[in-house]
């Protein structure tokens, strides 16, 4: 979350905003700044292009192949069958909708939990307390994902901590299922929401809050009309993490999800169990497509600059 800049170095012949047009001869003599930046970026771009996007493209191409159901051999013949199945068999629509709902729910839960924490960290806590709080927020990230998920499995179980805590109120543990999945995922991704919101609120000038108060606004009004609108892009930035991580997750669901399954499980079962790579690839295009749409929408809020 450091502020790096991809900006070109300022041209030697004056500030970039200068009115006069750049002399055309100078442009011919030396490589244009864009070209220089391009050369500098070539090695990482090659890495990104070949290893990263190349793998992604290979995945997408696999989605158009098929598999011999019996032997598991991949048949490299172009077909739209995987997508036809994906769109015509009801269960995949159900699973997609369920996955989106859970991802959205996890994001909302995290945003609601993260905002007050981040606000306290950024605007109220002393410098020392702030450091300690940042460490506290980061701490769960140092523990293994599996340890945390299994901890929730133990807590949510029939004889677990939650059941024991709720018993005096006549309530019971939600047991394993989609509620448990939402709770576990919300716990797992919370730091990814707190940190961007904290970073966003920290940049909020204190003078604005004072100005709002001087103009007679209650703190609640300040929060609603000054802080929230300015923190909104940061919350959206955090939501990119919580939403995409939830959409791709399959481990928490296998641990606490009971009989439920999400898109990630369908991918996992098709790769790990049925060995049907083409169909798994087709399923994997759903979260990719959803995220592309999501990012396109998010871009309008200016949240991408808050990452």
Partner 1 sequence: MRKISPRRTGTRRSGARRLGVLAGVALLAVVSGCGTSGGGGSSPSANGGFTPPDVPMKQSLGSMEGQVNILAWPGYAEDGSNDPKVDWVTPFEKQTGCQANVKYFGTSDEAVKLMKTGQYDVVSASGDASLRLIAAGDVAPVNTDLVKNYADISPFLKDRDWNSVNGQMYGIPHGWGANLLMYNTDVVKPAPTSWGSVFTGASQYAGKVTAYDSPIYIADAALYLMKHQPGLKITNPYALDSDQLQAAVDLLKKQRQNVSEYWSDYLKEVQAFSTGDSVIGTTWEVIAQVAQGEKVPVKAVLPQEGSTGWSDTWMVSSKSQHSNCAYAWMDYITGPQAQADVAQYFGEAPANPKACDLTAKNFCDAYHASDAQYADKIWYWTTPISNCLDGRKDVQCTDYGDWTQAWTEVKG
Least CB distance to partner 1 at residue 221 (A)? 29
Stretch that binds partner 1, among 128-136, 157-165, 188-196, 207-215 (CB under 8 A): 157-165
Give the bridge partners for 66, in sequence order.
75
Least CB distance to partner 1 at residue 160 (A)? 7
Least CB distance to partner 1 at residue 253 (A)? 10
Q: 50 or 293, CB closer to partner 1?
A: 50
Q: 101 or 274, CB closer to partner 1?
A: 274
Tokens of 203: 């940049």
Nearest alpha-carbon partner for 166 in 179, 181, 150? 179
Nearest alpha-carbon partner for 119 in 241, 226, 214? 226
Least CB distance to partner 1 at residue 67 (A)? 8
Site size for partner 1 (CB under 8 A)? 65
For residues 133 and 137, what is the distance between their CA atoms, to the nearest angstrom? 6
CB atoms under 10 Å from CB of 303, counted, come to 22
Exposure of 83 by Cβ count < 10 A (0-12 exposed, 13-18 middle, 19+ buried)? middle
259 contributes a contact to partner 1 by CB under 8 A: yes
For residues 99 and 85, what is the distance between their CA atoms, to the nearest angstrom? 18
Binding mask 48-87 for partner 1 (x = CB under 8 A): xxx--xx-xxx--x-----xxxxxxxxxx--------x--
147 contributes a contact to partner 1 by CB under 8 A: no
Binding mask 177-216 for partner 1 (x = CB under 8 A): ----------------------------------------
Q: 48 or 132, CB closer to partner 1?
A: 48
- Please list, residue by residue across 46-75, b when 16 or more beta carbons sit within 10 angstroms of its beta carbon and e when fewer do: eeeeeeeeeeeeebeebbbbbbeeeeeeee
Torsion of CA 121, 122, 128, 131, to 10 degrees: 70
17 contributes a contact to partner 1 by CB under 8 A: yes
88 contributes a contact to partner 1 by CB under 8 A: no
Beta strand pairing status for 74-75 and 66-67? antiparallel
Q: Which residue ranges make up the site for partner 1 (CB under 8 A)? A: 3-8, 16-17, 32-35, 37-38, 41, 45-46, 48-50, 53-54, 56-58, 61, 67-76, 85, 89, 91, 94-95, 153-154, 157-160, 175-176, 257-259, 261, 266, 269-270, 272-276, 302, 304-305, 307
């Amino acid at each position: 979350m450091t502020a790096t800049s991809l900006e070109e170095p300022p041209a030697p012949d004056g500030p970039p905003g200068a009115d006069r047009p750049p002399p055309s001869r100078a442009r011919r003599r030396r490589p244009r700044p864009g070209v220089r930046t391009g050369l500098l970026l070539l090695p990482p771009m090659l890495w990104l292009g070949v290893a990263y996007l190349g793998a992604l493209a290979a995945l997408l191409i696999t989605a158009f192949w098929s598999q011999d159901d019996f032997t598991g051999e991949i048949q490299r013949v172009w077909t739209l069958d995987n997508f036809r199945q994906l769109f015509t068999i009801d269960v995949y629509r159900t699973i997609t909708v369920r996955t989106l709902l859970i991802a959205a729910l996890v994001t909302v839960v995290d945003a609601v939990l993260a905002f007050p924490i981040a606000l306290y960290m950024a605007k109220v806590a002393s410098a020392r307390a702030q450091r300690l709080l940042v460490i506290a927020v980061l701490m769960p990230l140092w523990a293994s994902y599996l340890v945390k998920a299994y901890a929730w499995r133990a807590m949510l179980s029939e004889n677990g901590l939650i059941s024991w805590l709720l018993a005096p109120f006549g309530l019971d543990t939600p047991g394993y299922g989609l509620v448990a999945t939402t709770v576990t995922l919300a716990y797992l991704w919370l730091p990814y929401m707190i940190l961007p919101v904290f970073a966003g609120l920290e940049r909020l000038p204190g003078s604005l809050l004072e100005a709002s108060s001087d103009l007679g606004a209650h703190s609640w009004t300040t929060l609603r009309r000054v802080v929230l609108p300015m923190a909104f892009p940061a919350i959206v930035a955090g939501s990119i993490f919580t939403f995409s991580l939830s959409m791709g997750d399959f481990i928490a669901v296998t641990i606490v999800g009971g009989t439920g399954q999400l898109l990630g499980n369908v991918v996992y079962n098709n790769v790990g169990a049925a060995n049907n790579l083409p169909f798994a690839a087709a399923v994997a295009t759903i979260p990719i497509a959803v995220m592309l749409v999501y990012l396109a929408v998010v871009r309008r809020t200016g949240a991408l600059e808050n990452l």
